[in-house]
Structure 1
Amino acid sequence: MKLIDVVPVGNLLGEGVQWNPDDGCLWWTDISNSMLHRWHLDSRVHSVFATPERLCSFAFIEGQSRLLCAFASGVAMFDPHSGAITWLHRLETPGSGRRCNDGRVDRQGRFWVGTMVEDAARAGAFSASLYCMDRDGGVHVREREIDIANGLCWSPDGGRMYFADSARRTMYAYDFDGDTGAISARREFARLPESAEPDGACVDAQGCVWSAQWGAGQVACYAPDGRIRATIEVPASQPTCVAFAGASLDLLCVTSARAGLDAAALARQPDAGHLFIYQATTTGLAECRVRADFNPIHAKMDS
């Protein structure tokens, strides 16, 4: 793959990049700076929207300009243009030592979000969770005893879900029941070396998994059997998320982070925190959206 563009945004913790064909824009969040970014691919117009909390992940909703967002403390409907927000579920309380993290929509229109441990002394080791929000707005716990939830994505046919625990440097595969949203038969899909952690991921049209690998300065492409097919060197040691974009879904876009890098490290990688766009040799899949019949009114959360 060839690097064809660098969008100089200097994010502290860029994450969650997604392509929206309706407006021709890439959207992503700078979690640490509580900012939502939008980049128009053709005109190169860059817009930034302030968010009321750290925005950790988000989803587009069919037929709406509002987003379904996982903020640090929970899930809300958010209009980036007006700033209007409607809270749906507070998944974490102040002082819990945890916050929301990676989130994605499955092929049936459910929104999934995992949490992460920020302060182990308060949270307890490996005490984050993976949640699924159904189309009626109800929230169900699907996985527990994890540290940093990441890398959510689904196979093209929706029969397999991928999920990573970054701190354990492990990517998992599950059998996925599209009718119920149930996951089963967890097995190790890939284990990364000590120098790398699996971060945001997506699946291409051939069913390969593309994973941003924090600390390793690369994106890795895995075949469905877990073997590495290719790696792409990224000019930043902390790539965070990947997405396919463009009219033909043949551009691979990668967010990155500057957080935690000292002056010497930043001097070696001045592009850290920028958005990188590659001309891909494969094509991706359209980003799944929350279904238009999504109805969060009076929804409840499992304990």
Structure 2
Amino acid sequence: MGEGPLWDDRSGTLWFGDILSGRLHSLEPETNTQRTIEVGGYPGFLLLDAAGGFVLGRGHALERFDGERVTGETARVEMRAGNRLNDGTVDPAGRIWFGSMDFGCTLATGAVHLFAGGKLTTVGGECAITNGPAVTADGRLLYHVDTLAGQIWRFDIGERDTLIDGVLFATIDPADGTPDGVVLDSEDHLWVGLWGGWSARRYAPDGKLVETVRFPCANVTKIAFGGPDLKTAYATTARDNMDDAALADQPLAGGLFAFPVDVPGRLSGRAVSPR
């Protein structure tokens, strides 16, 4: 289950996780250098840290990761035993917004959480599977995905730290898949991977669908922008729960893909967290 692609501009490296195997993978495209690091415990996301390392969302905790190993715990999230962390982002102020989900993908026990100034709070967005969040360049708007409902919501966080009075930004027809991870490019257009949809989509800030990229496999989980000009989109995919017939039809499922984009992405934010 490939997830959480992250471009590290400090080293020109693309990172992503395999949640179910407990592994982190890295790729240096210029040299095609690849590494796999066993971390265990369902790694949901990896974020850049202002101190030079990474913040790893794994299981029930935010942890410090130095590129080789987990070196300590930053915060522990109080949630049901059957839940885990799933996706996250850093806003322009260095705050970490991240989601949790029901491992069984049925109970509405997941939510969006905020870690800022050493304080951890649950801010809303309750549902079974959270994805995103993604925050606009000015730090004012946050996009949150309710995957099972097929909905992408937008919240104004410019003057508050809670997800209230949200606007329904987009609804994905179940025939087209379900929305998975989201990311914003330099024009604040939203890219979303579609689980079961064989594609990724780009939406304008007004909610209009402006681009669709097709894939040779069904489950596209998330995109990250990388390369020197941030005009290469890297996409993770998954092969979880696929039978032999589906795997024969989709031999590349679970792989990492890349495609060029006309509009570059943005550099990933740096989390400001206590050591």
Q: Do the aligned partners of 1:92 and 1:99 also contact (CA within 8 Å) in 2?
A: no
Q: Of residues 183, 188, 193 in structure 2, which corresponds to 1:202?
A: 183
More strand per residue: 2
Q: Of residues 115, 122, 127 in structure 2, which corresponds to 1:133?
A: 115
Q: Do the aligned partners of 1:16 and 1:56 also contact (CA within 8 Å) in 2?
A: yes
- How many angstroms does 1:91 deviate by? 1.8
Residues 1:36 and 1:254: Cα distance change in structure 2 (over 3 Å): same
| Residue of structure 1 in register with 2:85 after alignment | 100
| Residue of structure 1 in register with 2:38 after alignment | 50
- Is 1:191 aligned with 2:178? no
Q: Do the aligned partners of 2:74 and 2:274 also contact (CA within 8 Å) in 1?
A: no
Kindly report which structure 2 residues correspond to 1:131-280, keeping only aligned pairs within 5 A, or say none: 131-134=113-116, 136-177=117-158, 181-195=161-175, 196-280=177-261
Specify the code of the residue in structure 1 equivalent to 2:238: A
- Is 1:89 aligned with 2:75? yes
Residues 1:119 and 1:182: Cα distance change in structure 2 (over 3 Å): closer
Deviation string for 1:153-193 (max 9, x for gaps)? 1122221111101111100001122x654444301100111
Specify the code of the residue in structure 2 equivalent to 1:189: F
Extract unaligned runs of 5+ from structure 1.
Answer: 1-12, 297-303
- How many angstroms does 1:74 deviate by? 1.6
Residues 1:276 and 1:25: Cα distance change in structure 2 (over 3 Å): same
Q: Of residues 66, 85, 91 in structure 2, which corresponds to 1:79?
A: 66
Q: Do the aligned partners of 2:146 and 2:152 also contact (CA within 8 Å) in 1?
A: yes
Aligned identity (percent) is 27
Backbone CA RMSD of aligned residues: 1.7
Extract unaligned runs of 5+ from structure 2.
Answer: none
Q: For the residues of structure 2 that align with 1:137 and 1:146, how far apart are their CA atoms?
A: 25
TM-score, normalisation: structure 1: 0.86
Specify the code of the residue in structure 2 equivalent to 1:91: V
Q: Do the aligned partners of 1:92 and 1:98 also contact (CA within 8 Å) in 2?
A: no
Deviation string for 1:2-59 (max 9, x for gaps)? xxxxxxxxxxx00000111111110110001100010001001101111142111121
Deviation string for 1:93-140 (max 9, x for gaps)? 6x72211111111111011111101237xxx83121210000x22101
- SS of equivalent residue, structure 1 residue 156: coil
- SS of equivalent residue, structure 2 residue 15: strand
- SS of equivalent residue, structure 2 residue 137: coil
TM-score, normalisation: structure 2: 0.94
Which of 1 and 2 has higher RCO (CA within 8 Å, sep 6+)? 1
Q: For the residues of structure 2 that align with 1:145 and 1:39, how far apart are their CA atoms?
A: 34
Q: Which structure 1 residue ranges, 4+ long, deviate > 3 Å from structure 2?
A: 179-184
